């Protein structure tokens, strides 16, 4: 399915126009109907972290899991939304309600690599199903740069159904920024799908409370 800046821009303008007046900044989603793909094969399971060129109206909230003092200090100085230390992990073990709340509140989890086995046991059961498994990084990683990058990442997933739905921004963003973000996601999928964008039968743009607008090929 040929998708270009012009057709995507038209769909974004229509979606915004038909979104209705709301008291919150609605997200703008890209929805793709995927065809001619074997959902039981590896090709039917896509999970890609994509860095968008423009930060959305709702930047990702980031939780850093750390053990070493230097890493903890760098994470706090880099304005991570939350820093979990080893003692915090031990206290969370087995507390399902608190673990679910943590998984819902934060969008991206970055973990100091030596802690990954413990993090996997403690947080894995709640983060895995949500596609939020922590990103392991070495203790000497540039945590400030990683946090800046992941403020504007999205996870592109396809699992049980041949449908991909991913946020590309919010309605208060400029049209051209939303187009750039949308095209970035499409370029990644063009390289991941077996036949590239030829596997996309229909594509839509939709605001949180609005109707889906078809991107006309």
CB 100 within 8 A of CB 126: yes
The secondary structure of the chain, three-state, reads CCCCHHHHHHHHHHHHHCCCCCCCCCEEEEEEEECCCCCCCHHHCEEEEEECCCCCCCCCCEEEECCCHHHHHHHHHCCCCEEECHHHHHHHCCCHHHHHHHHHHCCEEEEEHHHHHHHHHHCHHHHHHHCCCCEEECCCCCHHHHHHHHCCEEEEEECCCCEEEEEEEECCCCHHHHHHHHHHHHHHHHHHCCCHHHHEEEEEEEECCCCCEECCC
pLDDT at 2: 63
pLDDT at 30: 97
pLDDT at 217: 67
Cα 205 to Cα 13, 15, 22, 171, distances in angstroms: 10, 6, 18, 11
- Give backbone dihedrals phi and psi of 180, rounded to 5 degrees, phi first: -60, -45
pLDDT at 21: 73
CA distance linking residue 166 with residue 52, whole number of Å:
12
pTM: 0.85
pLDDT at 41: 87
Question: Which pLDDT tens digits describe the chain residue by residue (217 residues)?
Answer: 667 889 999 999 999 998 877 778 899 999 999 999 988 888 888 989 999 999 888 889 999 999 888 899 999 999 899 999 989 988 998 899 999 999 999 999 999 999 999 999 999 999 988 888 899 999 899 999 999 999 999 999 998 899 999 999 999 999 999 999 999 999 999 999 999 999 999 999 999 888 999 998 6
Beta bridge partners of 28: 169, 207
pLDDT at 44: 86
Structure tokens at 163: 């449908």
pLDDT at 56: 86
Going along the chain from its start, the domains and CATH numbers come out as 5-57+152-214 (3.30.190.20), 62-150 (3.40.50.790)
């Amino acid at each position: 399915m040929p998708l270009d800046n012009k057709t995507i821009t038209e769909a974004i303008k229509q979606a915004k126009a038909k979104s209705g007046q709301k008291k919150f900044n609605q997200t703008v989603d890209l929805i793709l109907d995927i065809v001619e793909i074997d959902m039981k094969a590896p090709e039917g399971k896509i999970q890609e972290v994509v860095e968008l060129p423009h930060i959305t109206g709702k930047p990702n909230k980031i939780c850093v899991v750390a053990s070493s003092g230097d890493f903890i200090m760098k994470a706090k100085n880099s304005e991570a939304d939350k820093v979990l230390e080893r003692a915090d992990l031990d206290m969370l073990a087995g507390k399902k309600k608190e673990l679910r709340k943590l998984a819902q509140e934060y969008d991206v989890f970055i973990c100091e690599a030596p802690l990954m086995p413990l993090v996997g046991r403690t947080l894995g059961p709640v983060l895995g199903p949500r596609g939020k498994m922590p990103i392991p990084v070495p203790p000497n990683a540039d945590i400030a740069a990683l946090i800046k990058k992941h403020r504007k990442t999205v996870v592109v997933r396809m699992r049980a159904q041949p449908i991909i739905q991913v946020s590309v921004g919010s309605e208060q963003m400029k049209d051209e920024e939303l187009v750039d973000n949308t095209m970035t996601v499409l370029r990644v999928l063009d390289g991941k799908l077996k036949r590239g964008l030829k596997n996309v039968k229909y594509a839509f743009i939709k605001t949180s409370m609005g109707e889906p607008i078809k991107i006309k090929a």
